Amino acid sequence: MKKLNVDTFTYMPRATEHIPEQIALLQTLEAKGYTYEVAGDGIYMDTSKVENYGELMGPNYKKRIADLQAGERVDM
């Protein structure tokens, strides 16, 4: 982590230690209509419903997202 210039923390929680919280969050997102299901694969977040999704990509993030082609990052 140090070589990657990532800050260290006093406590590093494990995802497996917080399964009930993750389930509750997923249920909240589902209730608000922010998810969709891919049969046999899982439940995903519909990022098109998040106005500023991708903001961490930088100042031109909306154009960069718009320029993405289906299947460019993952297989269809």
22's tokens: 């993750």
Quick check: helix, strand or coil at residue 19? helix
30 belongs to a structural domain: yes
Tell me, what's the pLDDT at 51? 82
Tell me, what's the pLDDT at 6? 86
Q: Say if pTM beats, i.e. exceeds, 0.75.
A: no
18's tokens: 């917080």
Q: Which residues contact 43 (CB under 8 A, 6 or more apart)?
A: 26, 30, 35, 36, 37
Q: Assess whether pLDDT exceeds 90 at residue 70.
A: no
28 belongs to a structural domain: yes
Structural domain that includes position 36: 15-66
- At residue 58 the predicted structure's pLDDT band, cuts being 50, 70 and 90, is confident
- At residue 60 the predicted structure's pLDDT band, cuts being 50, 70 and 90, is confident
25 belongs to a structural domain: yes
Query: What's the CA gap between 2 and 58, in Å, rounded?
Result: 24
